[in-house]
Amino acid sequence: MSNKKLYAIKKSIHGNEKKKVEILSSILSYKFVLIIGGNCNITFEEKTFKGQSEDILIMSPGNKIYLEVSSNRPLEIFEVSISLEYLNKLSTEDINFVNCLNVMPSKCEFIYASAETLLLLKNISTTLLNSEFKENEFAQDLYEKNLLSIFIILLIRSAIRAEAKEKAKKRSRSLVDDLIIYIKLHITEEIPLERLEKVFFVSKYHISREFKKQTGMTIHRYIVKNKLELCKKLLEQGNSVVDVYKHCGLGGYNHMFRAFKNEFGLTPMEYCKEIKSKNMETK
């Protein structure tokens, strides 16, 4: 299959007319939006944020945002869509891009990259945009594949650095910060308190007490809640209930079944049917 069917890229320029630009990410792909010129208001899930040149948005599958120009300068953006299938193909045995993107805290994540990284991202986007005229070039598919891998790596690195920088501004990392990072990195595994006790060289009782004190939530509840959010996201991406159960490390199947219904009001199968019904309505 050609790379072109697994990713798409476009560049657009919008004047200062009071018209909202709708941007969609399909249920089977991630979308990356690079604002390379102008300012705008970004509306996502009824909340509005300020967007400006050099901002980057990472949209998880099945989401929608609206951009509205907010300055006299035209809004100039790149949209890069990469299917989940292709992200898995670009991944290696050690690094899975889909898993890295799935742990982003928001369905529409704002990323602030360095000037050097942003320049590289813009250059890669421009090169990929022009690649449709070079399909007969030697090893063109491999060339595009490598460019897209670099593109994704740069974005994920920027997200990691931005999160670390934000935490450093607020305060030096505490035990709870470290616990949250560890849980997110190992969310598909079983994470009992005894394991955390060995990793952090702190008693499980102290871990439980400090986590509840700073977050208002027990650490067990936090782990289960994050696992269920991952289950939900994977089901939205078309994965089977059995595959999701095996991937998320929620203990027995019946436990996952009950926990999912308690959290979202639907069983995993009922949620899959609801997704299919919504997809049929939008077609």
Residues 193-246: tens digit of each pLDDT:
999 999 888 889 989 988 998 889 999 999 999 988 988 888 888 888 888 878
pLDDT of residue 98: 92
Residues of the chain with CATH 2.60.120.280: 3-170
CATH for 3-170?
Answer: 2.60.120.280
Question: How far, in Å, CA of 130 to CA of 144, rounded?
Answer: 11
- CA 2 to the chain's CA centroid: 25
Supply the pTM of this predicted model.
0.61
What's the CATH fold of domain 175-282? Arc Repressor Mutant, subunit A (1.10.10)
Question: How far, in Å, CA of 43 to CA of 109, rounded?
Answer: 13
DSSP secondary structure string, 50-102?
EEETTEEEEEPTT-EEEEEE-SSSPEEEEEEEEEHHHHHHH--SS--HHHHHH
What backbone torsions phi and psi does residue 138 show, to the nearest 5 degrees? -60, 130
Which amino acid makes up residue 171?
R
Residues of the chain with CATH 1.10.10.60: 175-282
**pLDDT beyond 50 at 39:** yes
Give the gyration radius of the chain's Cα atoms.
21
Question: Which residue from 223, 199, 198 is spatially nearest to 211, judged by alpha carbons?
Answer: 223
Question: How far, in Å, CA of 181 to CA of 179, rounded?
Answer: 5
Question: How far, in Å, CA of 119 to CA of 158, rounded?
Answer: 13
Question: Which residue from 73, 70, 79, 75 is spatially nearest to 26, judged by alpha carbons?
Answer: 79
**pLDDT beyond 80 at 118:** yes
How many CB atoms are located within 10 Å of the residue 20 CB?
Answer: 14
Which DSSP symbol is given to 46?
T
pLDDT band at 1 (very low <50, low <70, confident <90, very high): very low
CA distances from 263 to 19, 108, 169, 233 (A): 38, 22, 33, 14
